[in-house]
């Protein structure tokens, strides 16, 4: 759905761009230098932009909970007590390791 | 990562699983040296080219695993490779110091750390290594002195405050340990473990005022952990039971204790019942009730403690 909306919005904006190009071409043929882009083309461009933005945003993943409460409670105790700077050798394992 | 133990065969794991497991061990500070060594050795022998720059983190992890297992010569081989890649790195010098300590060459280790500190007195990591060395060798007084002077400069270092708290607890200096935990709570108020440990220290010190503080912090620890910390819940029951039996505690406080104990009892009973169901569902052997018996006896013990509260 989000991709469809985004695509639709882009199509509308593309169409508005092509319309502006065609309008400029017609105005040049008539020899009119000063012209304003018609309101309907501007409206189409803006509506296309809104639809494309909306479609893109609703397609994003839901926000993750970044509160420190949620992330800390999920960590194991050893992670919370981890003090890598004060590493000390666990000497009780000495002599118990056998390489298979 | 669940189910990884010393009987796990590294050859059965894919490169992605091995890398993920070792990363998780590094993040959480897991000190399972046998498993780390097995998985890391297999990874280094078969997939070292795929690791890219992460290989140096794995080599460092393997070095510490070897030191823990007492196979210092193999640890030295990993250290040599790291030193070849990073010849002038201070981190490598710290690893060399760790190796000296593991080989019992304490004088050399101390000399190395002090030399590095003379070059750069602000090197926090090197100071921590020196403190750790003093602590491991029973020189608690020197370790505490150095740690206190370190904390006068680096006041927001969680790790150092936690280390100082542990040192004070080992020397039964509970008031000083409580001060350290207060600093930790100020720095990281969302960490439930600091509240839990502080509550336990306050409870140990004793007295009505400390019990009330302890109750508050056990409540906070339980809340922050999402009621998953059994220790906080049991601590809450214990301190509330103590308060209810104390003179000098107001009726309001006693009533709130009564409600808290009831609440904690429900939570604990639910958790133990739930864990019993989960274990029996996951139990591979149909006729192996040992695990459920264990949980049953645990549940009975908890219920006996809670029933003694006389709700």
> CA B238 from chain center: how many Å?
23
Q: Residue B1's pLDDT is what? A: 45
Determine the distance from the C-alpha atom of residue B83 to the mean position of all C-alpha atoms in its chain, rounded to a whole number: 29
Looking at residue B311, what is its pLDDT?
44
Alpha carbon of residue B62 to chain centroid: 20
The dihedral of CA B290, B291, B295, B301: what is its sign? positive
- From the list B64, B124, B163, the residue facing A83 with the nearest CB is B163
Three-class DSSP category at B173: coil
Query: For residues B74 and A90, what is the distance between their CA atoms, to the nearest angstrom?
Result: 17
The encoded tokens of residue A41 equal 């083309």
**Residue-level pLDDT at A9:** 94
Is the pLDDT at A94 greater than 50? The verdict is no
The ipTM of this complex is 0.70
CA distances from B92 to A90, B76, B118, B147 (A): 20, 12, 17, 22
CB contact under 8 A, B31 and A78: yes
Q: What is the mean pLDDT of residues B262-273?
A: 89
Smallest Cβ–Cβ distance between A82 and the set B29, B68, B128 belongs to: B29
Query: What pLDDT was estimated at residue B190?
Result: 87
Pairwise CA distance, residues B176 & B182, whole Å: 10
Looking at chain B, which residue has its C-alpha nearest residue A72?
Answer: B191
- B161, B204, B235 from B178: Cα distances, Å: 11, 10, 16
- Asked whether the predicted pLDDT for residue B305 surpasses 90, the reply is no
Does residue B255 sit in helix, strand or coil?
Answer: helix
Helix or strand run (H / E) with residue B24: helix B15-28
Query: Would you say the pTM of this structure is higher than 0.95?
Result: no
Instruction: Name the DSSP letter for residue A88.
Output: -
pLDDT level of residue B278 (50, 70, 90 thresholds): low
d(CA B229, CA B92): 38
Reported as a single tens digit per residue, the pLDDT across B152-205 is 999 999 999 999 999 999 999 999 999 999 999 999 898 899 999 999 999 999
CB contact under 8 A, B159 and A83: yes
Q: Domain ranges for chain A, please list them.
A: 2-61
> Above 80 in pLDDT, residue A45?
yes
pLDDT number for residue B248 = 82
* For chain B, percent of residues with pLDDT exceeding 70: 86
Supply B172's token pair: 């039964």
Query: What's the rounded mean pLDDT across residues B112-128?
Result: 90
A65 touches chain B (CB under 8 A): no
Closest CA to B92 of B60, B139, B124, B134: B60
pLDDT digits (tens, 9 = 90+) for B147-156: 999 999 999 9
> Shortest Cα distance from A60 to chain B (angstroms)?
26
The pLDDT-based confidence of B253 (bands split at 50, 70, 90) is confident
Partner B, chain A 3-62, Cβ-Cβ below 8 Å: none
* Start-to-end Cα distance in chain B: 42
């Amino acid at each position: 759905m989000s991709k469809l909306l985004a695509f639709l919005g882009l199509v509308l904006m593309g169409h508005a761009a092509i319309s502006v190009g065609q309008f400029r071409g017609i105005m040049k043929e008539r020899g009119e230098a000063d012209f304003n882009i018609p309101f309907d083309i501007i409206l189409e461009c803006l509506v296309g932009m809104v639809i494309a933005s909306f479609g893109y945003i609703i397609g994003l993943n839901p926000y993750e909970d970044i509160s420190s409460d949620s992330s800390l409670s999920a960590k194991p105790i050893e992670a919370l007590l981890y003090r890598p700077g004060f590493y000390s050798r666990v000497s009780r394992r000495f002599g118990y390791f056998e390489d298979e | 990562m669940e189910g990884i133990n010393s009987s796990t065969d590294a050859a059965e794991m894919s490169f992605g699983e091995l890398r993920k497991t070792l990363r998780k061990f590094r993040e959480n500070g897991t000190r399972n040296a046998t498993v780390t060594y097995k998985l890391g050795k297999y990874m280094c022998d078969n997939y070292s080219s795929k690791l890219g720059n992460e290989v140096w983190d794995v080599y460092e992890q393997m070095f510490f695993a070897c030191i823990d297992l007492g196979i210092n010569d193999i640890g030295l081989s990993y250290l040599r490779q790291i030193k070849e890649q990073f010849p002038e790195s201070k981190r490598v010098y710290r690893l060399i110091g760790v190796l000296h300590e593991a080989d019992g060459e304490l004088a050399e280790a101390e000399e190395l750390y002090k030399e590095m500190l003379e070059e750069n007195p602000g090197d926090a990591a090197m100071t921590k290594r020196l403190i750790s060395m003093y602590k491991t060798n029973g020189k608690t007084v020197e370790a505490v002195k150095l740690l206190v002077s370190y904390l006068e400069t680096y006041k927001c270092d969680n790790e150092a405050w936690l280390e100082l708290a542990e040192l004070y607890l080992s020397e039964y200096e509970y008031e000083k340990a409580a001060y350290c935990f207060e600093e930790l709570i100020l720095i990281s108020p969302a960490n439930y473990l600091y509240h839990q440990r502080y509550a336990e220290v306050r409870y140990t010190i004793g007295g009505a005022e400390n019990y009330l503080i302890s109750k508050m912090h056990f409540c906070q620890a339980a809340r922050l952990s999402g009621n998953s910390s059994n220790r906080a819940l049991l601590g809450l029951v214990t301190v509330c039971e103590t308060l209810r039996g104390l003179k000098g505690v107001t009726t309001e406080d006693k009533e709130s204790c009564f409600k808290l104990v009831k609440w904690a009892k429900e939570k604990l009973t639910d958790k133990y019942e739930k864990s019993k169901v989960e274990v029996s569902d996951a139990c591979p052997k149909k006729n192996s009730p040992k695990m459920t018996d264990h949980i049953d006896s645990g549940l009975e013990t908890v219920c006996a403690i809670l029933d003694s509260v006389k709700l």
